[in-house]
């Protein structure tokens, strides 16, 4: 009995170890297809792009022996790339700031006035699901020259603006279309975030004498700050890829005034068939995105900690 007692835990330990090993094997088995898909759709294209960027500036799409960092050297010394990056930053800051300010304000109002209304939520979703190229074409006809609907009526009241052919207004239109299409999406996400704020907290603040604006600014917004940063991050990842709007509306013009980084990348790769150089620009786009996302993640972690 004593002997048995002494040895009693041993089979349990063995079984537990065996079960853990089996469980790990199952986990690996379930994860493997996912990892394969991830490798095929993300890692391999990234490696291909890196390999291409180390090849000749023009040449082929087949990967050959690396020829050095000359494409990156050209990239870093090109004023055109920095110009395109600068325009991308102007677009991103403009679009994200307006979308977040408008989106959060609208969400705070809707949360109080029409809480949990499913019709509002459905309506808010539809601009975001429209294909960007279709949206761009509609805006093209609204704003075009003297026959576009918007241009025509503005001209009737004395505002004669060539929206798509003036550098500043052309970029402003690209920002405005992004704001029109995605602000409702920001409202929707912000409404979801606001459901995490308990009513008791607002009521306690109100009992302490805080008005609705003060409650929103000092209580609600700090509580949903990590979620707001996550929304900004989602919008950033999407907005950095802006392309159909530029392609349909301005083709990067007038001059290069709407040639944002992604369109500049497209021009180098397909317009000028500089595959190596185009791949290097794509690497820059990925690096820029990763750095910005890491900064936003760090900010979000700090917000969560506080």
Partner 1 sequence: MSDVELTRRGALRAALAAGGALVLPGCAAGGLGSGPASGPSLGAAAENYLRRQGEKLGVPSISLLAYSAPQAEAIHQLAPRFTDLTGIAVNWTALDEQSAANKAAVSLGSGSASYDVVHLTSDLLPTYASRGWLADLDRLRRAGTVPGWGTSAYGRATTDLLRWKDTLYAAPMFLGTQLFYYRTDVFRRYGIGTPPRTFAELREVCAKVHGTQLSAIALRSAPSPSQLLFVWSAWLYAFGGSYYRRYADGSYSGVALDSPAAVRSLQLYGTLLRQYAPTGATNWSVEDVTRAFTTGRVAMVQDGAVFGGTFNDPKSSQVAGKVGTFVIPSGTAGRFVPYNCHGWGVARTSTRAAAAWLFVQWATVQATLTAAAAGPVGFSTPPIATIYTSRSYAKKYGFDDFVPSVTRTISVAEDGNVSPLRGDPNYLPGTTDWSTVGQQVSEQLSRAVTGQTSAAAAVRAAAAVVSGR
Considering the rule CB under 8 A, would residue 265 count as an interface residue with partner 1? Answer: no
Considering the rule CB under 8 A, would residue 273 count as an interface residue with partner 1? Answer: yes
Considering the rule CB under 8 A, would residue 272 count as an interface residue with partner 1? Answer: yes
| Residue of the chain from 256, 288, 292, 303 that contacts partner 1 (CB under 8 A) | 256
Handedness of CA 180, 181, 182, 187 (dihedral sign): positive
Instruction: Give the whole-angstrom CA distance, residue 116 versus residue 114.
Output: 6
Q: How far is the CB of 94 from partner 1 (least distance, A)?
A: 20
Considering the rule CB under 8 A, would residue 262 count as an interface residue with partner 1? Answer: no
For partner 1, which is the closer residue by CB, 80 or 221?
80
Considering the rule CB under 8 A, would residue 162 count as an interface residue with partner 1? Answer: yes
Instruction: Give the whole-angstrom CA distance, residue 114 versus residue 295.
Output: 35
Handedness of CA 293, 294, 298, 299 (dihedral sign): negative
Rounded to 5 degrees, φ, ψ at 288 are -60, -45
Considering the rule CB under 8 A, would residue 54 count as an interface residue with partner 1? Answer: no
Residue 284: Cβ within 10 Å count: 20
Handedness of CA 135, 139, 140, 142 (dihedral sign): positive
Q: How far is the CB of 259 from partner 1 (least distance, A)?
A: 8
For partner 1, which is the closer residue by CB, 274 or 300?
274
- Do residues 93 and 78 lie in contact, with contact meaning Cβ atoms separated by under 8 Å? no
- Do residues 132 and 153 lie in contact, with contact meaning Cβ atoms separated by under 8 Å? no
For partner 1, which is the closer residue by CB, 152 or 180?
152
Considering the rule CB under 8 A, would residue 92 count as an interface residue with partner 1? Answer: no
Q: How far is the CB of 229 from partner 1 (least distance, A)?
A: 37
Q: How far is the CB of 240 from partner 1 (least distance, A)?
A: 21
For partner 1, which is the closer residue by CB, 144 or 300?
144
Instruction: Give the whole-angstrom CA distance, residue 86 versus residue 77.
Output: 15
- Do residues 128 and 185 lie in contact, with contact meaning Cβ atoms separated by under 8 Å? yes
Rounded to 5 degrees, φ, ψ at 228 are -65, -40
Considering the rule CB under 8 A, would residue 280 count as an interface residue with partner 1? Answer: no
Q: How far is the CB of 162 from partner 1 (least distance, A)?
A: 4
Considering the rule CB under 8 A, would residue 251 count as an interface residue with partner 1? Answer: yes
Considering the rule CB under 8 A, would residue 255 count as an interface residue with partner 1? Answer: yes
Instruction: Give the whole-angstrom CA distance, residue 204 versus residue 304.
Output: 22
3-state secondary structure of 136: helix
Considering the rule CB under 8 A, would residue 65 count as an interface residue with partner 1? Answer: no
For partner 1, which is the closer residue by CB, 58 or 241?
58
| Residue of the chain from 265, 267, 282, 283 that contacts partner 1 (CB under 8 A) | 267
| Residue of the chain from 50, 59, 128, 138 that contacts partner 1 (CB under 8 A) | 59
3-state secondary structure of 101: helix
Residues 67-86 that bind partner 1 (CB under 8 A): 80
| Residue of the chain from 16, 32, 60, 195 that contacts partner 1 (CB under 8 A) | 60
| Residue of the chain from 240, 252, 281, 285 that contacts partner 1 (CB under 8 A) | 252
CA dihedral 187→193→198→199, nearest 10 degrees, is 0
- Do residues 197 and 61 lie in contact, with contact meaning Cβ atoms separated by under 8 Å? no
Q: How far is the CB of 50 from partner 1 (least distance, A)?
A: 17
Q: How many CA atoms lie within 13 A of 38 on its CB side?
A: 5
Contacts to partner 1 by CB under 8 A: 58-62, 80, 144-147, 151, 155, 160, 162-167, 170, 250-257, 259, 267, 270-275
């Amino acid at each position: 009995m004593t002997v048995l007692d002494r040895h009693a835990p041993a089979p349990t330990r063995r079984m537990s170890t065996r079960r853990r090993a089996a469980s790990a094997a199952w986990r690996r088995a379930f994860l493997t297809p996912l990892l394969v898909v991830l490798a095929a759709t993300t890692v391999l294209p990234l490696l291909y792009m890196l390999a291409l960027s180390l090849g000749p500036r023009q040449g082929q799409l087949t990967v050959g022996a690396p020829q050095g960092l000359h494409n990156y050297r050209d990239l870093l010394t090109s004023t055109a790339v920095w110009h395109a990056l600068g325009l991308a930053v102007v677009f991103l800051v403009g679009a994200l700031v307006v979308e977040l300010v408008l989106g959060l304000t609208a969400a705070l109002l809707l949360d109080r006035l029409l809480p949990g209304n499913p019709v509002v939520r459905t309506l808010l979703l539809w601009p975001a699901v429209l294909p960007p190229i279709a949206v761009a074409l509609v805006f093209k006809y609204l704003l075009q020259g003297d026959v576009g609907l918007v241009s025509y009526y503005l001209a009737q009241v004395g505002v004669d603006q060539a929206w798509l052919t003036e550098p500043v207004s052309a970029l402003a239109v690209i920002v405005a279309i992004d704001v029109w299409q995605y602000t409702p999406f920001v409202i929707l996400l912000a409404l979801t975030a606001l459901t995490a704020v308990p009513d008791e907290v607002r009521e306690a603040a109100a009992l302490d004498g805080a008005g609705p604006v003060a409650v929103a600014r000092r209580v609600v917004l700090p509580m949903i700050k990590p979620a707001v940063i996550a929304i900004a991050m989602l919008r950033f990842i999407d907005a950095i890829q802006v392309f159909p709007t530029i392609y349909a509306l301005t083709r990067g013009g007038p001059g290069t005034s709407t040639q944002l980084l992604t369109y500049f990348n497209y021009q180098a790769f397909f317009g000028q068939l500089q595959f190596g150089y185009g791949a290097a620009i794509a690497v820059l786009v990925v690096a820029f995105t990763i750095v910005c996302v890491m900064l936003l993640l760090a900010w979000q972690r700090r917000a969560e900690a506080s």
